[in-house]
Amino acid sequence: MDTSVDRREQAQSGAEAGEAATGPRLIVFAGHAGTGKTTLARIAVPRLHELTGESFCVLDKDTVYGAFSSKVMGLLTGDADDRDSPTYLDNLRDEEYSGLLDIARENLALGVNVVLVGPFSREVRSRRMFDAGALGMPVGTPIRVVWVWLDEATARERIVARGDHRDRYKLHHWDEYRKRRFDPDPAQFPELIRYDNSTLDPVAVEALMQRLARGN
C-alpha cells in the first residue's frame, strides 16, 4: 500500500474542507503543571495527522530533559525531584527550554511539523512564544500556542493524584510555587488559544483539533 498517496489524498481533502496550506508549523501546548498538556498533546498528534495528512515531531520537556534534570539537581541540591527552587529556575530552567527550542528549530528547518509540550509561562508572558524570529525559528513559521487552563485547586488535586516524583518539591513548597502561576488575560493575549481542560470534553477537543489543523 502506497501510504504517500494516502497522505496526499488526506492533505487534499483537508484543503478542500478549508484548511490552510502552510509550511512546517509549530504547535505549543503550554500551561501550568497538572493542567493536562501532555494528555492533550497525545490526543492531538494522531488526530492532526488524520486531518492534515502530515506528521508531527513531539517534544515534551519532561521527556527530553527529565532524567538530565534529575541528575543535575541531585548534584546541585541533593534533591533530584526539584524543578521549582531558585537554584533550578536561575541556573537550569532557561537552558533546558533553549535546548528544546533548538531541537524544534532543526526539525522545522527540515520540513517537519513540531508539537512542543511544556509550561512556557515566561515565554508566553513576554510574548516571545508568538514570534518565530524571537524564538530563532525559520522565517515565516506558523505558530499556534494553546494555553491549557485549569483552576489551581483542581490542578493541585491532579498533581497529587498522578504521583510523579518530580512534583514533590512543588507540592512541599506550594505557597511559593503558586505565586508564579500566570493566568494570561485573553484580552491581553489574543494570540493564545485558551483551552479549559476541566473536563475531557470530546466535542471541545475535536473543535480544538479542527482549529489547529486549519491553522487559525
Model confidence pLDDT, tens digit, residues 71-127 = 999 999 999 999 999 999 999 999 999 999 999 999 999 999 999 999 999 999 999
Q: Which domain holds residue 81?
A: 30-214
Overall number of domains in the chain: 1
pTM for this predicted structure: 0.87
20 in any annotated domain = no
Residue pair 148/36 in contact (Cβ under 8 Å)? The answer is yes
Residues 65, 91, 134, 216, Cα dihedral to 10°: 40
Q: What are 36's strand-pairing partners?
A: none
Tell me the CATH number at 64.
Answer: 3.40.50.300
25 in any annotated domain = no
116 in any annotated domain = yes
- SS3 (DSSP) at 80: coil
83 in any annotated domain = yes
9 in any annotated domain = no
14 in any annotated domain = no
184 in any annotated domain = yes
Question: What are the backbone angles phi and psi of residue 28, rounded to the nearest 5°?
Answer: -120, 130
Read off the pLDDT of residues 146-197 as tens digits, 9 standing for 90 and up.
999 999 999 999 999 999 988 999 999 999 999 989 999 999 999 999 999 9
Read off the pLDDT of residues 25-50 as tens digits, 9 standing for 90 and up.
999 999 999 999 999 999 999 999 99
13 in any annotated domain = no
CA distance 198 to 203: 13
